[in-house]
Amino acid sequence: MWDSSIVHQQEDGLIALRFEGVIGSPMVCGICVRKAQNIPVTQGSQEYLKCNNCAAEIEVSSAQMKLVRTKATDKYEKKIQELTTQCQLKTHECHEAWMSLTAANEQLEKVRMELDNKIFRTRTLALEWGKMCGSIGTWDAAMSNLQEKIKIMQKEHAHLSHEAHACVEHWCEDLKVKYSEEQAKRKELYNQIQDTKGNIRVFCRCRPLSKEETSAGFAQVVDFGAAKDGDLGILTVYVFADALPLVTSVLDGYNVCFFAYGQTGTGKTFTMEGTDQNRGVNYRTLEELFQIAEERSDSFTYNISVSVLEVYNEQIRDFLSTSFASKRLEIKQSAEGFHHVPGIVEAQVENIKEVWNVLQIGSNSRVVGSNNVNEHSSRSHCMLCIMVKSKNLMTGECTKSKLWLVDLAGSERLAKTDAQGERLKEAQNINKSLSALGDVVYALATKSSHIPYRNSKLTHLLQDSLGGDSKTLMFVQISPSERDLSETLSSLNFATRVRGVELGPAKRQVDTSELQKMKTMLEKARQESRSKDESLRKLEECLQNLESKAKCRDQVYKTQQEKIKELEGQLELKTSMHNQSEKQVSQLSDRLKGKEEIYAALQLKVNELEAKLKERQQSDSACYQQKVKDLENKLKEKVQESESNSLALQLKIKELERKLKGQEENPESIFLQLKIKELEDRLKEQEQQLQCALARDFAVAIVTSPSEGKRRREDKSMNEAEPHILRSSNSTSRCPLSRGSKQPRVSDAVHETRRKRYSRSGETENNTSLAEKRARKSDPPKVARGVKIAKPGSIAAQGQGPLAHKRVINRVQAVMERDNTKKIWSR
Ligand SMILES: Nc1ncnc2c1ncn2[C@@H]1O[C@H](COP(=O)(O)OP(=O)(O)OP(=O)(O)O)[C@@H](O)[C@H]1O
């Protein structure tokens, strides 16, 4: 390497050499032309910076420029670092956002799964609820049915109990009341009977004188004034008043007989039948009978029937029968002792009107069957039989009684009438029946053991109503005329006999058949009652079972209701949780949307950065390729230069070795050795610098791995604003990365060069001598410049005289001073 002060290029392209400070004739043994090394100290190359304020160009040295660039590089490296950190932070945030999004999605999925499960459970619960409602409805229906049955049974039970109690209480109360009433009536009747001295009363009624009698001049012989003494009662106003209590007796179950006795024309029919204006005993009695029956309808039921018949010539004729002419009626006695006429018509009547109609029918039949009604009626016993069947609704007692209303035939004497034939027979039969009646009365009065009831049809028919077990009322009809005096006295005598009859207490005609029936019914009722009691007991047991079942079902129902409440609570809880989950889902959805927006923005940014990095990478790769080529060329040149230098240095070393041998004991040589060592160190440093620079360039050119692509793209995008700075920083920062891969190649090339050089000089590595070491350390150009003074052909190199030696020392000192000056500048 030639100093610029002595080597310069002329305008015509020739290189001129100028030797300064050289005495004698320097010999040029070889010229090596190469590009000057960029050494700041020796070269002193200048560069220009542009001021940011005034845009003026400022001249700075390359070292300063390097320092400035290094500072800028550091600054931009820091910026890059910051941007890298920010980018990493953003990437981290993106990653976190993505992770959060993923977690949110997972949470959302979990919430959706939970929601689906809850909806499923809710539906399952709804189905269970529906089933439970259905079963509860069935149970309710069964329960209501059972409750209805229980209610019906309870009602029946209550009704039966009420009936039983009512029967007992009402029966007792009514019995007491009615017993007291009956007692009072009985007492009254008893008093009346006692007053009349028996059960046969005799009312004597005397009609007034008729017009005929009056016109004929008959006087009235009946002394009504004498009747006031009590021996003869004549009722001129109202005969029936005292007969009413006997009507009550008929309804009480006693047999009663009203009959009218007396001479023909004395008013028997008038008394018994009466007229429309003046009703007779029959009508009044029946009227009273139905009235009392109506009054007793709440405690008694009465079955009243009417028969209308007559006894004529000892024959019984039924006026209600449509074929009475051919029908012969007989009197029979039933097993119970009652006397009745089998086949006789018994017309059922409900009221007095029906009775009156029946009586009219009988009266009409009487008219049809007789040519002379008046005569016929006078010679027959017209008999009206009212049969009363009663039932006490409280006691169930039944009675069967009869009321005879008899209009007797006239009792005139036969001698008086001088009857013959049929008329006589009629009169005899009338007398027979009336005599039989008298005999019966006599027998009753004399308390005879035999009562001749069967002596006539009349007494036979009236057997149940004449005598000790019955009550009898006789109306004695007399004529006030003196013409009928004897008949009147006869009738009064008869009445006196009848009145003298003292009958015992009347006997109620209890219907034993009814009693038997009632006993049967009672037994049946008892059996029914027992069966009902049994069924009632079963019903009670069933009721108890049902009640226990109802209690169990109530318990089940309560349990189900509690379960339903619990399920409803769970459902409400689930619903609230569901609502909360929906809210969370909506919140997470909102957050997810936000994250997605951020992610999209970041993705766009990443795409933009990737595109920029790609562009930059493309541009950088071309630049780096060019740079690598340049560096390769430079390396080749340096290798060549090094080889030439090594040759020159070998020569110099040989020369120096020769000189060294000569000056081994010279102190200057020691100094030179030290100096050589120092130069070797500095050469080493420069070599290292060179290797570093080469490795850096190689790394930039070669090391662009795919793994670093992304980071480089990011760096590129971040440093795109200042590309020249980024390139410089990359070469600097990535030097250590490339050192491992490329540096060995450079050092190998250098060592290979050296190895060739040593082999050329005939020396081996194993026989490394001090001279060889020196030769290896003499590579740096500065040493070469120092050695250049002692190059072949120079006086010092030839070892000629002390002056040359002095010059060498001076030269070495100058070199040392210059190196010192460089160190100071470098610092
Ligand atoms: N109390 C009286 N007041 C007014 N007139 C009476 C009374 N009693 C009877 N007579 C009249 O006497 C007449 C005879 O009466 P009634 O025919 O009733 O007698 P009798 O006893 O029934 O007769 P016979 O036995 O023939 O049937 C009738 O014209 C009747 O109107």
Q: Tell me the per-residue pLDDT of 12-67, one tens digit each, with 9 for 90 and over.
A: 666 666 666 656 666 666 666 665 555 444 444 567 767 666 777 777 777 777 88
Q: What's residue 509's pLDDT? A: 59
The residue contributing the CA closest to ligand 1 atom 2 is 207
Residue range 330-380, pLDDT digits in tens:
888 887 778 888 888 899 999 888 888 888 888 777 655 555 556 666 778
**DSSP-based helix, strand, coil % in the chain, nearest 5:** 65, 10, 25
Beta bridge partners of 201: 473
**Predicted confidence (pLDDT) at residue 557 exceeds the cutoff of 60:** yes
Q: Is 375 in the pocket of ligand 1 (CB under 6 A)?
A: no
Nearest-atom index, ligand 1, CA of 375: 26
CA distance 782 to 42: 9
Residue range 53-107, pLDDT digits in tens:
677 777 777 777 788 778 878 888 888 888 888 878 888 888 888 888 888 888 8
Q: Which of 89, 92, 96, 112 is nearest to 595 (CA)?
A: 96
384 CA distance to ligand 1 middle (Å) = 19
Q: Is 410 in the pocket of ligand 1 (CB under 6 A)?
A: yes
Between β-strands 255-262 and 398-407, what pairing exists: parallel, antiparallel or unpaired? parallel
CA distance 682 to 680: 5
Q: What's residue 388's pLDDT? A: 92
Q: Is 480 in the pocket of ligand 1 (CB under 6 A)?
A: no
**Chain centroid offset of residue 675 CA:** 111
The residue contributing the CA closest to ligand 1 atom 15 is 267
Considering only residues 780 and 586, tell me which one the structure prediction assigns the higher pLDDT: 586
**Chain centroid offset of residue 282 CA:** 83
Q: What's residue 508's pLDDT? A: 57
Q: What's residue 820's pLDDT? A: 55
480 CA distance to ligand 1 middle (Å) = 12
The residue contributing the CA closest to ligand 1 atom 9 is 267
320 CA distance to ligand 1 middle (Å) = 25
**Predicted confidence (pLDDT) at residue 2 exceeds the cutoff of 70:** no
**Predicted confidence (pLDDT) at residue 567 exceeds the cutoff of 50:** yes
Q: Is 267 in the pocket of ligand 1 (CB under 6 A)?
A: yes
Contact 250, 397 (CB under 8 A): no
Average pLDDT, the chain: 73
Q: What's residue 21's pLDDT? A: 61
231 CA distance to ligand 1 middle (Å) = 24
CA distance 348 to 350: 7
The residue contributing the CA closest to ligand 1 atom 8 is 267
Helix (H) or strand (E) holding 778: none
**Predicted confidence (pLDDT) at residue 735 exceeds the cutoff of 60:** no
CA distance 89 to 138: 70
Q: What's residue 254's pLDDT? A: 85
**Predicted confidence (pLDDT) at residue 221 exceeds the cutoff of 80:** no
**Predicted confidence (pLDDT) at residue 547 exceeds the cutoff of 60:** yes
Tokens of 585: 């889902």
Residue showing tokens 């318990």: 555
**Predicted confidence (pLDDT) at residue 304 exceeds the cutoff of 90:** yes
Between β-strands 381-392 and 200-206, what pairing exists: parallel, antiparallel or unpaired? unpaired
Q: Which of 566, 410, 569, 603 is nearest to 494 (CA)?
A: 410
109 CA distance to ligand 1 middle (Å) = 128
Contact 385, 404 (CB under 8 A): yes
Instruction: For residues 626-645, give the mean pLDDT.
Output: 89
| C-alpha distances out from residue 802 to 59, 665, 671, 791, 805, Å | 46, 15, 16, 17, 5
Q: Is 381 in the pocket of ligand 1 (CB under 6 A)?
A: no
Instruction: For residues 558-581, give the mean pLDDT.
Output: 86
Q: What's residue 353's pLDDT? A: 87
Tokens of 672: 């030179």
Burial of 718 (0-12, 13-18, 19+ CB in 10 A): buried
Amino acid identity at 159: H
477 CA distance to ligand 1 middle (Å) = 9
pTM above 0.80, yes or no: no
CB atoms within 10 A of CB 36: 13
Listed in order, the ranges of the chain carrying CATH 3.40.850.10 are 199-503
- In 122-152, which positions are buried (b, 16+ CB within 10 angstroms) versus exposed (e)? beebeeebeebeeebeebeeebeebeeebee
- Which one is the CATH code of 199-503: 3.40.850.10, 3.30.450.90, 3.40.50.2000, 3.40.640.10? 3.40.850.10
The residues near 637 (Cβ < 8 Å, ≥ 6 apart) are: 34, 35
694 CA distance to ligand 1 middle (Å) = 186
Secondary structure letter of residue 167 according to DSSP? H
Q: Is 376 in the pocket of ligand 1 (CB under 6 A)?
A: no
Q: Is 73 in the pocket of ligand 1 (CB under 6 A)?
A: no
**Predicted confidence (pLDDT) at residue 505 exceeds the cutoff of 60:** no
Secondary structure letter of residue 540 according to DSSP? H
Instruction: For residues 2-17, give the mean pLDDT.
Output: 57
Q: What's residue 305's pLDDT? A: 93
Contact 80, 729 (CB under 8 A): yes
Instruction: For residues 565-590, give the mean pLDDT.
Output: 88
SS3 of residue 699 by DSSP? helix
264 CA distance to ligand 1 middle (Å) = 8
Contact 406, 260 (CB under 8 A): yes
**Predicted confidence (pLDDT) at residue 269 exceeds the cutoff of 60:** yes
**Predicted confidence (pLDDT) at residue 789 exceeds the cutoff of 70:** no
**Predicted confidence (pLDDT) at residue 175 exceeds the cutoff of 60:** yes
Mutate to test the pocket of ligand 1, among 204, 206, 207, 234 (most ligand atoms within 8 A of CB): 207
Q: Which of 779, 780, 718, 708 is nearest to 738 (CA)?
A: 708
Q: Is the dihedral of CA 611, 617, 620, 622 positive or negative?
A: negative
The residue contributing the CA closest to ligand 1 atom 16 is 267
Nearest-atom index, ligand 1, CA of 260: 21
Residues making up the annotated binding site are: 262-269
**Around 608, how many Cα atoms within 13 Å sit in the side-chain half-sphere?**
8
Contact 354, 308 (CB under 8 A): no
Q: Is 234 in the pocket of ligand 1 (CB under 6 A)?
A: no
**Predicted confidence (pLDDT) at residue 795 exceeds the cutoff of 60:** no
**Predicted confidence (pLDDT) at residue 814 exceeds the cutoff of 60:** no
Q: Is 265 in the pocket of ligand 1 (CB under 6 A)?
A: yes
CA-atom Rg of the chain in angstroms = 86
CA distance 808 to 810: 5
Q: What's residue 46's pLDDT? A: 64
Tokens of 548: 């226990």
Nearest-atom index, ligand 1, CA of 266: 21
Secondary structure letter of residue 198 according to DSSP? S
The residue contributing the CA closest to ligand 1 atom 12 is 267
Q: What's residue 827's pLDDT? A: 39
Helix (H) or strand (E) holding 8: strand 7-9
Q: ipTM of the assembly?
A: 0.95
The residues near 659 (Cβ < 8 Å, ≥ 6 apart) are: 790, 796, 797, 799
Instruction: Determine the angle formed by the axes of helices 62-196 and 244-252, rounding to 10 degrees.
Output: 120
CA distance 204 to 233: 6
DSSP states of 539-559: HHHHHHHHHHHHHHHHHHHHH
341 CA distance to ligand 1 middle (Å) = 30
Q: Is 477 in the pocket of ligand 1 (CB under 6 A)?
A: yes
**Predicted confidence (pLDDT) at residue 685 exceeds the cutoff of 80:** yes
Between β-strands 398-407 and 381-392, what pairing exists: parallel, antiparallel or unpaired? antiparallel
The residue contributing the CA closest to ligand 1 atom 25 is 264
Q: Is 380 in the pocket of ligand 1 (CB under 6 A)?
A: no
Nearest-atom index, ligand 1, CA of 262: 21
Beta bridge partners of 50: 57
404 CA distance to ligand 1 middle (Å) = 20
**Predicted confidence (pLDDT) at residue 295 exceeds the cutoff of 70:** yes
485 CA distance to ligand 1 middle (Å) = 16
φ and ψ at 260, to 5 degrees? -110, 125
Contact 243, 473 (CB under 8 A): yes
| C-alpha distances out from residue 731 to 212, 619, 631, 720, Å | 188, 15, 13, 16
**Around 522, how many Cα atoms within 13 Å sit in the side-chain half-sphere?**
9
Residues making up the annotated binding site for ATP are: 262-269
Between β-strands 57-61 and 381-392, what pairing exists: parallel, antiparallel or unpaired? unpaired
Q: Which of 789, 786, 790 is nearest to 816 (CA)?
A: 786
Q: Is 307 in the pocket of ligand 1 (CB under 6 A)?
A: no
Q: What's residue 3's pLDDT? A: 44
CA distance 789 to 141: 135
The residue contributing the CA closest to ligand 1 atom 3 is 207
Percent residues over pLDDT 90 in the chain: 4
| 543-557, 632-646, 811-825: the lowest-pLDDT one | 811-825
The residue contributing the CA closest to ligand 1 atom 11 is 267
Q: Is 264 in the pocket of ligand 1 (CB under 6 A)?
A: yes
478 CA distance to ligand 1 middle (Å) = 10
Mutate to test the pocket of ligand 1, among 205, 220, 239, 266 (most ligand atoms within 8 A of CB): 266
The residue contributing the CA closest to ligand 1 atom 18 is 267
Tokens of 72: 């800028």
482 CA distance to ligand 1 middle (Å) = 16
CA distance 381 to 314: 10
Helix (H) or strand (E) holding 95: helix 62-196
**Predicted confidence (pLDDT) at residue 786 exceeds the cutoff of 60:** no
The residues near 815 (Cβ < 8 Å, ≥ 6 apart) are: 782, 785, 786
Q: What angle do CA 286, 255, 497 make, to 5 degrees?
A: 105
Percent residues over pLDDT 70 in the chain: 67
Between β-strands 470-478 and 255-262, what pairing exists: parallel, antiparallel or unpaired? parallel
List own/partner pairs for 513-519 with CB under 8 A and 24 or more apart: 513/336, 514/389, 514/391, 514/398, 514/399, 514/400, 515/397, 515/398, 517/398, 518/396, 518/397, 518/398
Contact 449, 319 (CB under 8 A): no
Secondary structure letter of residue 410 according to DSSP? P
Q: Is 207 in the pocket of ligand 1 (CB under 6 A)?
A: yes
Write down how long the chain is. 827
Tokens of 218: 């008959």
Q: Is 270 in the pocket of ligand 1 (CB under 6 A)?
A: yes
Q: What angle do CA 11, 13, 15 make, to 5 degrees?
A: 100
Nearest-atom index, ligand 1, CA of 205: 1
306 CA distance to ligand 1 middle (Å) = 25
Considering only residues 5 and 614, tell me which one the structure prediction assigns the higher pLDDT: 614
282 CA distance to ligand 1 middle (Å) = 15
The residue contributing the CA closest to ligand 1 atom 1 is 207
Considering only residues 677 and 744, tell me which one the structure prediction assigns the higher pLDDT: 677
SS3 of residue 49 by DSSP? strand
The residues near 86 (Cβ < 8 Å, ≥ 6 apart) are: none
The listed range with the strongest mean pLDDT (380-389, 700-709, 766-775) is: 380-389
Considering only residues 122 and 804, tell me which one the structure prediction assigns the higher pLDDT: 122
Contact 453, 229 (CB under 8 A): no
CA distance 232 to 236: 12
